[in-house]
């Protein structure tokens, strides 16, 4: 027997034990949440506190609960709880009803199947009514007998469905002579169908016109919406939700993964705990948020609130129009501009840690760039506007100095090798007399 949320599982007769068991497959929970511990608790009729059942055996991802004396000690309706606990506190729980009969079931043939027997009887009754139309009195009599037989078959089918926890029921979605018939598979109780909507699985609601729901405890309330999985909701028109605990509330939105929300129109979200609330936004990863119009966020705990912005990495924030932020723990733009306006920077690279935010690089809208470290180039410049390295400049300066030194040496050599011009003679007559003449050179 396989249990489904929203159904009733028959544990057996009062004080009868070790006669029945139910098997649960928790492979989907393990795939979504990782390794963990599976447990079953039972709240018996009249009890106020559930207790952990003793007859639980686990092989791989299959857990089998064999009902013991304590489980069937109290007759009536109770409730069972399935729990899956992981080391990182990501848990999953669900529940279903249980029933312990007061005494043994009556002997005889097993009740007919919930769909096959009832539907066959309906066909036979219709054929009999058509044949009996030749005789008015006989036709009326046979029609009344056929209606009574159909009602009895339907009651037997409902009882069998509750006991076996599975059913296939032909459901009439419209009223009138030209009714449209849709197949509803699973637990009928608590299921709501909208106009031309279909539902299958357990405890699902397809209330939107032309909507479709499947799985366990899913809701498709938006027109032309589709939901599947476990605890998913597609409330936006033309929306689609799948996975576990996802919500697609925006028109034409799509949500998938675990605990994600796509509330913006035409938005898309995937991953774990991510939110795409901006119109035409996209969020992916773990606990990311894309709230800006046309924004995109990815990674872990990133936020893109600016219009058409993009945030990626870990704990990064892109808060202004067309801004791109990546890395880790960046310092957000301090501009006072709105989310729909340009901020100070078109791009920010964060290099912070969880205790201190910092930026490795920023680029403003004028093309000015700031670096927290050094800029290293690997090629020599070829064009006038090319950037270069300090080593290249030092090399050019050294080469020029060598040329200047060589030039100084050559000039000195040329000066020494040149012939000396004759020295001019200058004569000055100081006077005549006994002393003679003096000549100054």
CATH code for the structural domain at 8-101: 2.60.40
What is the CATH T-level fold of the domain 167-260, as seen in this structure? Alkaline Protease, subunit P, domain 1 (2.150.10)
Question: What global pTM score does this model have?
Answer: 0.51
Which tens digit of pLDDT belongs to each residue from 266-302? 999 999 999 999 999 999 999 999 999 999 999 999 9
At 115 the pLDDT is 40
Q: Where are the domains of the chain?
A: 8-101, 116-164, 167-260, 274-374
Distances (CA, A) of 278 to 71, 228, 242, 294, 401: 50, 24, 20, 7, 63
Q: Which long-range contacts (CB under 8 A, 24 or more apart) does 422-425 make?
A: none
Of these ranges, 21-25, 75-79, 151-155, 235-239, the one predicted with the greatest mean pLDDT is 235-239
Closest CA to 208 of 173, 183, 168: 173
- Tell me the helix, strand and coil percentages in the chain, rounded to 5: 20, 30, 50
Does the pLDDT value for residue 313 go beyond 70?
yes
Does the pLDDT value for residue 432 go beyond 60?
no
Closest CA to 241 of 193, 276, 289, 196: 276
Closest CA to 348 of 334, 356, 338: 334
Of these ranges, 109-113, 164-168, 346-350, 395-399, the one predicted with the greatest mean pLDDT is 346-350
- Residue 134 sits at φ, ψ, to 5 deg, of -65, -25
pLDDT confidence of 90, banded at 50, 70, 90?
low
At 369 the pLDDT is 96
C-alpha 77/C-alpha 99 separation (Å) is: 5
Mean pLDDT of the chain: 81
At 437 the pLDDT is 47
> Torsion angle of alpha carbons 400, 402, 405, 407, nearest 10°?
-70
pLDDT confidence of 228, banded at 50, 70, 90?
very high
C-alpha 70/C-alpha 23 separation (Å) is: 19
Does the pLDDT value for residue 400 go beyond 70?
yes
pLDDT confidence of 165, banded at 50, 70, 90?
very low
pLDDT confidence of 131, banded at 50, 70, 90?
low
Looking at 221-344, which runs of residues are DSSP E strands?
Answer: 226-227, 233-234, 240-241, 247-248, 254-255, 261-262, 268-269, 275-276, 282-283, 289-290, 296-297, 303-304, 310-311, 317-318, 324-328
At 116 the pLDDT is 45
Whether the Cβ atoms of residue 12 and residue 19 lie closer than 8 Å to each other = yes
CA dihedral over 321, 322, 328, 334, signed as positive or negative: negative
Looking at 314-406, which runs of residues are DSSP E strands?
Answer: 317-318, 324-328, 345-351, 359-364, 369-371
Which tens digit of pLDDT belongs to each residue from 417-431? 877 666 665 555 555
């Amino acid at each position: 027997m396989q249990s489904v949320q929203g159904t009733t599982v028959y544990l057996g007769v009062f004080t009868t034990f070790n006669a029945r068991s139910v098997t649960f497959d928790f492979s989907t929970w393990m795939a979504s949440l990782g390794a963990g511990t599976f447990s079953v608790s039972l709240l018996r009729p009249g009890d106020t506190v559930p207790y952990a059942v003793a007859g639980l055996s686990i092989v791989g991802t299959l857990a089998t609960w064999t009902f013991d004396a304590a489980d069937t000690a109290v007759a009536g309706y109770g409730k069972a709880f399935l729990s899956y606990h992981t080391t990182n506190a990501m848990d999953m729980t669900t529940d279903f009803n249980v029933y312990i009969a007061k005494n043994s079931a009556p002997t005889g043939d097993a009740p007919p199947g919930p769909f096959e027997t009832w539907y066959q009887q309906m066909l036979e009754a219709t054929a009999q009514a058509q044949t009996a139309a030749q005789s008015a009195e006989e036709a009326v009599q046979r029609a009344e007998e056929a209606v009574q037989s159909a009602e009895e078959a339907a009651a037997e089918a409902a009882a069998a469905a509750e006991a076996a926890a599975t059913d296939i029921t032909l459901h009439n979605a419209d009223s009138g002579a030209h009714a449209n018939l849709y197949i509803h598979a699973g637990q009928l109780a608590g299921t709501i169908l909208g106009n031309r909507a279909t539902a299958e699985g357990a405890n699902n609601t397809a209330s939107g016109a032309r909507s479709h729901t499947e799985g366990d405890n899913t809701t498709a309330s938006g027109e032309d919406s589709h939901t599947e999985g476990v605890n998913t909701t597609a409330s936006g028109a033309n929306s689609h939700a799948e996975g576990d605990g996802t919500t697609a509330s925006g028109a034409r939105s799509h949500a998938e993964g675990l605990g994600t929300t796509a509330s913006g129109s035409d938005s898309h979200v995937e991953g774990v705990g991510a939110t795409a609330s901006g119109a035409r936004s996209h969020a992916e990863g773990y606990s990311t948020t894309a709230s800006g119009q046309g924004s995109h966020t990815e990674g872990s705990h990133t936020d893109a609130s600016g219009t058409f912005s993009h945030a990626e990495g870990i704990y990064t924030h892109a808060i202004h129009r067309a801004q791109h932020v990546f890395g880790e723990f960046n310092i957000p733009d301090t501009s006072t501009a709105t989310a729909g306006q340009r901020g100070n920077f078109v791009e920010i690279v964060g290099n912070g840690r969880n205790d201190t935010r910092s930026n490795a690089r920023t680029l403003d809208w004028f093309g000015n760039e700031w670096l927290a470290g050094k800029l290293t180039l690997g090629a020599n410049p070829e064009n006038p506007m090319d950037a270069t390295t300090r080593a290249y400049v030092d090399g050019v300066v050294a080469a020029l100095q060598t040329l200047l030194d060589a030039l100084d040496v050559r000039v000195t050599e040329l000066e020494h090798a040149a012939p000396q011009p004759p020295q001019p003679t200058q004569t000055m007559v100081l006077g005549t007399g006994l002393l003679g003449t003096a000549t100054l050179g």
